[in-house]
Amino acid sequence: MEMKMKAAVFYGPGDMRLEERPLPRLNDDEVLIRVKAASVCGTDLHIFNGDLEVETPLVLGHDFPGVVEEVGRDVTGFQKGNRVIAHMVRYCGECLFCRQGRYNLCLRNTWMGFEIDGAFAEYVVAPARDVIPIPSEVPLEEAAITEPIVVALRVMDFSQAGIGETMAIFGQGPIGLVQTQVAKLAGLRVITIDPLEERLELAQGFGADHVLNPLKTNIVEAILKLTDGIGVHCAVEDSGSQEAVDLAGEVTRPGGRILFVGEGRRLRGPVVRHRERILIEVLVDPWKYPLALELLVKKQIDVRSLVTHEIELDGIVDLFGGLSEGELKAVKALVRP
């Protein structure tokens, strides 16, 4: 008899349905994982709202911990009961970039929750090479928020900002709040920008040197005043807002760096001219997951404070509806299948 599982299946903007599906087929080199928690990312909401197009039907969700349920016959190193996460990039292992170890740039990659089914389900399968053990010191609900740390670490790679230099972080959602913590850990001076006072309070609690609300403050004037009229060494755009993208362009000094984590935006107009700045789109780097988990082990990053909502899988349709309509004001929501 074919075994079934529950899954939240996305069919189009505003249309998510809780369904029964067959358990994923397990190949010889794969691991079947029982999902214990999955966090809702801003990108999941963008897809739900129709801002990003994906082929449907699709199970969303890409940041999750779980427990190994079964392993393929060629798999070594994992056994039933192991606590694990799996990174979201599925790569070919053969192209130019894979041979360089740059798996996030694989020419034939697919992304969990974007092109292949994700973690808003009771079970997922992943190649064993993409599965990472969770240290015993890390609670599962914290492991469900590993990806924001991975992104923040990748931002630091590209920022090339040194101790005492200034980073402006636009957007204090989960990724921005983690970015604030990672930047402070690296010894940077951090300016955070967000229109929600409660998120600025969190940022201040995480060590932000300056918090600015664009609804109350002229951001360009304030940041230039804080940087002797020159601008920040590095601006990170985490919000996906076109206005924030444009502001990032205005407050970054000549020779500085502007890093984009938010989706689908670009610099416009004269702010891109005559500054010799570097603009970089930041992607998840699978190599950063072990370091992200190590930071959680050492309690150097606080992700637990970001969790404002926890629900069972049966409530996911209402959760996404509430988030989409603005009725729920979540920083980070966890779904427990």
- Given the residues 43, 166, 180, 192, select the one marked as catalytic: 43
Q: Based on the residue annotation, tell me whether 43 is a catalytic residue of this protein.
A: yes
3-state per-residue secondary structure call for the chain = CCCEEEEEEEEECCEEEEEEEECCCCCCCEEEEEECCEECCHHHHHHHHCCCCCCCCEECCCCCEEEEEEECCCCCCCCCCCEEEECCEECCCCCHHHHCCCHHHCCCCEEECCCECCCCECEEEEEHHHEEECCCCCCHHHHCCCHHHHHHHHHHHHHCCCCCCEEEEECCCHHHHHHHHHHHHCCCEEEEECCCHHHHHHHHHCCCCEEECCCCCCHHHHHHHHCCCCCEEEEEECCCCHHHHHHHHHHEEEEEEEEECCCCCCCCHHHHCCCCCEEEECCCCHHHHHHHHHHHHCCCCCCHHHEEEEEEHHHHHHHHHHHHHCCCCCCEEEEEC
**Residues identified as active-site:** 43, 46
